[in-house]
Amino acid sequence: MTRIVHYSSERTAMPAEFPCPDDSPRAVHVHRAEPVGDAPPVEPVAIMIDLDQPPAPDNASYVAAARGRFVADAKAIADALYGHLPGGTLDALLAEMLVRRGSQLRVPLASADAS
């Protein structure tokens, strides 16, 4: 079970509802966004990656359901990150994710044989 915890960069004790100890390699501590104007402080948020995928039968309905789960999970993570991280961190995260997946996005515009 992997747990990635976003908590403030302050190295305080983890709240009881976050079962990962402070020194756990599964806990990631990053800076949270600053409130804008008179907005209240940005609260810590935890992203728990601990749900197992359901068994995969061999049929098209499973593929559609899995696609729906992936989209829902991605939107939930994006909502949590977007509402709690500074804009500069979001930009750097997006760039880092594109670098890591960039090779899968490359599509040649023409084959080497086409002249």
Determine the pLDDT at residue 25.
57
Determine the pLDDT at residue 27.
77
- Measured CA to CA, the distance from residue 50 to residue 30 in angstroms comes to 20
50 in a structural domain: yes
Determine the pLDDT at residue 7.
40
The model's pLDDT over 67-104, given as tens digits with 9 standing for 90+, comes to 899 999 999 999 999 999 999 999 999 999 988 887 76
114 in a structural domain: no
pTM for the complete prediction?
Answer: 0.64
- Measured CA to CA, the distance from residue 45 to residue 85 in angstroms comes to 10
Coil, strand or helix at 29 = coil
CA 7 to chain centroid, in Å, comes to 14
Output DSSP code: residue 88: H
Q: At what angle do helices 60-82 and 87-105 cross, to 10 degrees?
A: 150
78 in a structural domain: yes
110 in a structural domain: no
Q: Say how many domains are in the chain.
A: 1
Determine the pLDDT at residue 60.
73
Token pair 């749900």: residue: 51
Determine the pLDDT at residue 9.
41
Q: Residue 47's domain spans which residues? A: 2-105
21 in a structural domain: yes
The model's pLDDT over 7-62, given as tens digits with 9 standing for 90+, comes to 434 444 444 555 555 555 577 889 999 999 999 999 999 888 888 888 877 777 88
- Residue 4's Cβ-count burial label (10 Å; 0-12, 13-18, 19+) is middle
18 in a structural domain: yes
Determine the pLDDT at residue 107.
65
Say if CB 71 and CB 30 are below 8 A apart: no
- Measured CA to CA, the distance from residue 99 to residue 97 in angstroms comes to 5
